[in-house]
Structure 1
Amino acid sequence: MKLGDIALEYGCELRGDPDHAVTRVATLAAAEPDAVAFLANPAYRGQLAATRAGAVILTERDADASPVAALVTANPYLVYARLAARLHPLPAVAPGISPAAVLAADCELPASCAVAAGAVIDSGARLGERVQVGPNACIGRDVRIGDDSRLLAGVCVAAGSRIGARCVLHQGVVIGSDGFGNARTENGEWVKVPQLGAVRIGDDVEIGANTTIDRGAIDDTVIEDGVRLDNQIQVGHNVRIGAHTAIAALTGISGSTTIGRYCMIGGQVGFAGHLEIADHVVISGGTAVTHSIRRPGVYGGPASGPDEVSRWRRNAVRYQQLDDMAKRLRRLEKWAAQAQAGED
């Protein structure tokens, strides 16, 4: 693809030869003249001077330092993502059903679907066009899966779940397992609460490996359009995650919590149940969210609960000063006691 065409298609200012062609993307350090690299993180600015890339996608601030052609844009990472998808497209679906797959007689799937060895598709399941079902994946009774979705090896989608179009479920994802609902008797024994809802996943959702999303207790658990879930996330029953929210690995979301749209949640965040998180909230990694967050903003904090991140950072610095402050306080108390005794 010629640099001039890239600049035109992705709205960049090109500083270099418009006829130079590239075929792939690469890092600044490893790129050759046939590759495009990008610079979005200042930590890698030191690699720019020595790059051999055919072009670098970067901001106006770094453009003059580029020794090769520059594709100047306000958002280099976004342009890189779109160009990488263009230069490295996924293989087209190779339609067909492995003879080692097990399909119920009344499941429905178009001829354009691909079903790998060991996959199981249960009664009443209905797949859209060009759906890919990976090895040993299990599609439960009455499941619906939209066009162009991909379920990789070992994915399990339990009965009644709904998955939209163009979704990606990575290895080991479990959709629609029972939520953790138990009632306790007077004797301290547990009685399982039937989990009667399902899971509804919108379009263009990506779910990382070994993430689990529980079915609702009565109403459904809902993942709206464009959500991004990292690996090993636990989503409890009746949780709702708003459109275009991204959540990093090892986060746990307790039942009936609602997370708004366009949120960004760091890794290892823990949410208590029955909370409401506003749209456009950012939560730092490792935060224990114990109460609802009603206003957009950046929040973070340890097990004491989330706080506005600027105040939390100030308090984190002060924590390191607590011992010195305690000693000064004792000296002041001693001085005050001595002064009081002198007055008496």
Structure 2
Amino acid sequence: MEYNWFFPPHEGVRLSDLADQIGATLEDKSSADRLARSVAPVYRAKEGDICYMLSRKSRDELETCQATAIVCDKTIAPLVPSHIPVLLTAHPHTAFALAGTYLHEAAMRPSRNLSQAGISAAAVIDPQARLEPNVEVEPMAVIGAGAEIGEGTRIGAGVVIGPGVRIGRDCTISAGASILCALVGNNVIIHPGARIGQDGFGYAPGPKGGMIKIVQIGRVIIQDNVEIGAGTTIDRGTMDDTVIGEGTKIDNQVQIGHNVRIGRHCGIVSQVGIAGSTIVGDGVMIGGAAAVNGHIKIGDRAQIAAMSGVASDVPPNERYGGIPARPMRDFLRDVAEITARMHNRQKKSGGNNE
């Protein structure tokens, strides 16, 4: 790949120092002074690049690898050519993530759009808003009356911060996002176009047909170290609050309905929809495009497979999949039975589907 000016290489860090930073062991001590500058996939890694391997399936990529070092565990290390140093760790995926953070710190959150920091004269800030020192506000942002924004936070171009919203310190609110009726913790990242705190979808039958809108007077509470992807929508509560727990990471284009309570350190992948008043425990992982019914509970550390339809409660520590979602062992058995029936049907028809 040609030189990437969006994320230029690091000026260089010694392999021995990088190993200390990521909790790995440098096997070849003679390579301690070699410099790591960037990250790359195994097949095209060159001098200065760090890459990682998790599986023997990638061994063919080593033929073209010229990396400064490979992060891997002891089962992969014997496969690595002798000219490439090994950074040995029991947790290569985590160690590589830490290496990327160290070498490309600027890529860890959306960057500012202008080279000049500070508060733009083209931003609109209500006189009753309160901004701590070192807050950045880019052009065309609007900050409402009574809003409070903590030190070190950056408000991107075109962002709307509603009246009374409180945002903590060291947050990044990216271009075009809107935050209403919300309390946001520290070190939160909100990506472009996210919509937070608008009223949820709630209606009652009208006396003459049609529907009457149910008032939504709750808030959105976003705890510390949460990341929310581009285009994601989080509705405020009806009368209680919608809550996103500490350390939870939410992908792009996720819909979270009113009164949903999501626990700490969850991972929710793109296009997931969670209907109102559902409770999601701590450490839950939900795969892409899964649909979660309202008024149910997903237990701590449960895992939901991609494109599943979750209609009822999921116990803690369980893995569920399918439509309707059920224990993964049951889902896989059902899939195997259906596949076998289709295969037998084809055999009986001589492979003719006409």
TM-score of the pair, normalised by structure 2? 0.88
Q: Which residue of 1 aligns with 2:16?
A: 4
User: Is the alpha carbon distance of 1:315 and 1:122 closer, same or farther for their aligned partners in structure 2, counting shifts above 3 Å?
Assistant: same
Of residues 262, 266, 272 in structure 1, which corresponds to 2:293?
272
Could you tell me how far apart the structure 1 residues matched to 2:170 and 2:204 are?
A: 41
Could you tell me how far apart the structure 1 residues matched to 2:311 and 2:20 are?
A: 48
Q: Which residue of 1 aligns with 2:38?
A: 24
> Any unmatched runs of 5+ in structure 2?
1-12, 347-354
Query: Of the two, which has the highest radius of gyration?
Result: 1
User: Is the alpha carbon distance of 1:13 and 1:180 closer, same or farther for their aligned partners in structure 2, counting shifts above 3 Å?
Assistant: same
- Report the CA distance between 1:40 and its aligned residue: 2.5
User: Is the alpha carbon distance of 1:11 and 1:240 closer, same or farther for their aligned partners in structure 2, counting shifts above 3 Å?
Assistant: same
**SS of residue matched to 2:79:** coil
User: Is the alpha carbon distance of 1:76 and 1:323 closer, same or farther for their aligned partners in structure 2, counting shifts above 3 Å?
Assistant: closer
Of residues 71, 81, 96 in structure 1, which corresponds to 2:87?
71
- Report the CA distance between 1:325 and its aligned residue: 7.2
**SS of residue matched to 1:299:** strand
Q: Which residue of 2 aligns with 1:332?
A: none
- Report the CA distance between 1:90 and its aligned residue: 1.9
Of residues 260, 269, 292 in structure 1, which corresponds to 2:313?
292
Could you tell me how far apart the structure 1 residues matched to 2:32 and 2:333 are?
A: 50
The count of residues paired between Structure 1 and Structure 2 equals 325
- Report the CA distance between 1:298 and its aligned residue: 1.0
1:55-103 deviation per Cα after TM superposition (whole angstroms, max 9, x unaligned): 0001111101112000011111111111111111128976411111100
1:249-299 deviation per Cα after TM superposition (whole angstroms, max 9, x unaligned): 011000000111111100010011100000010110010000011231111
User: Is the alpha carbon distance of 1:31 and 1:284 closer, same or farther for their aligned partners in structure 2, counting shifts above 3 Å?
Assistant: same
- Report the CA distance between 1:110 and its aligned residue: 2.2
Deviates more, 1:7-16 or 1:178-187: 7-16
Q: Which residue of 1 aligns with 2:350?
A: none
Q: Which residue of 1 aligns with 2:156?
A: 134
User: Is the alpha carbon distance of 1:74 and 1:227 closer, same or farther for their aligned partners in structure 2, counting shifts above 3 Å?
Assistant: same
The answer (yes or no) to whether the contact 2:22–2:96 under 8 Å persists in 1 is: no
Does 1:315 find its partner at 2:338? Answer: no
Could you tell me how far apart the structure 2 residues matched to 1:58 and 1:180 are?
A: 48
- Report the CA distance between 1:9 and its aligned residue: 2.8
- Residue type of the partner of 1:313? L
> Any unmatched runs of 5+ in structure 1?
328-344
1:164-218 deviation per Cα after TM superposition (whole angstroms, max 9, x unaligned): 1111100100010101011112432211111000100001100110000000000
1:288-339 deviation per Cα after TM superposition (whole angstroms, max 9, x unaligned): 000011231111012xx11111221111010123357789xxxxxxxxxxxx
Deviates more, 1:60-69 or 1:315-324: 315-324
Does 1:106 find its partner at 2:118? Answer: no
TM-score of the pair, normalised by structure 1? 0.90
RMSD: 1.9
- Residue type of the partner of 2:91? N
User: Is the alpha carbon distance of 1:229 and 1:42 closer, same or farther for their aligned partners in structure 2, counting shifts above 3 Å?
Assistant: farther
